[in-house]
Amino acid sequence: MKPLIGIVVCGFMDNRQFVANPYIQSVRYSGGLPLILPLVRSDALLDQYVSLCSGFLFCGGGDITPLLFGQEPQNGNGQTSITVDLFQIRLMKRVLASRKPVLAICRGMQVLSVACGGTIWQDLSLAPGNTINHMQQSPSRSDVSHRIRTERGSLIRHCAGPALLVNSFHHQAVNTPGRGVSVTARASDGTIEAIEIADHPFAAGVQWHPECMYRASREMRALFQEFISRSRMI
Give pLDDT tens digits for 47-57.
999 999 999 99
Confidence of residue 65 (pLDDT cuts 50, 70, 90): very high
Q: In residues, how long is the chain?
A: 234
- pLDDT number for residue 98: 98
Taking the CA atoms of residue 74, residue 91, residue 180 and residue 114 in that order, the dihedral angle to the nearest 10 degrees is: 0
Q: Which domain holds residue 17?
A: 4-232
Output the pTM of the full model: 0.97
The domain spanning residue 103 has which CATH number?
A: 3.40.50.880
Tell me how far apart the alpha carbons of residues 99 and 1 are, in angstroms, rounded to a whole number: 20
Cβ atoms < 10 Å from Cβ of 90:
15
For the chain, the domain total comes to: 1
Rounded average pLDDT over 183-202: 96
Task: Say if CB 189 and CB 183 are below 8 A apart.
Answer: no
**C-alpha neighbours within 13 Å on the C-beta side of residue 139:** 0
Cβ atoms < 10 Å from Cβ of 186:
16
Chain-centroid distance, C-alpha 55: 13
- pLDDT number for residue 222: 98
Confidence of residue 172 (pLDDT cuts 50, 70, 90): very high
Tell me how far apart the alpha carbons of residues 137 and 168 are, in angstroms, rounded to a whole number: 9
Describe the crossing of helices 107-115 and 82-98 by its angle, rounded to 10 degrees: 70
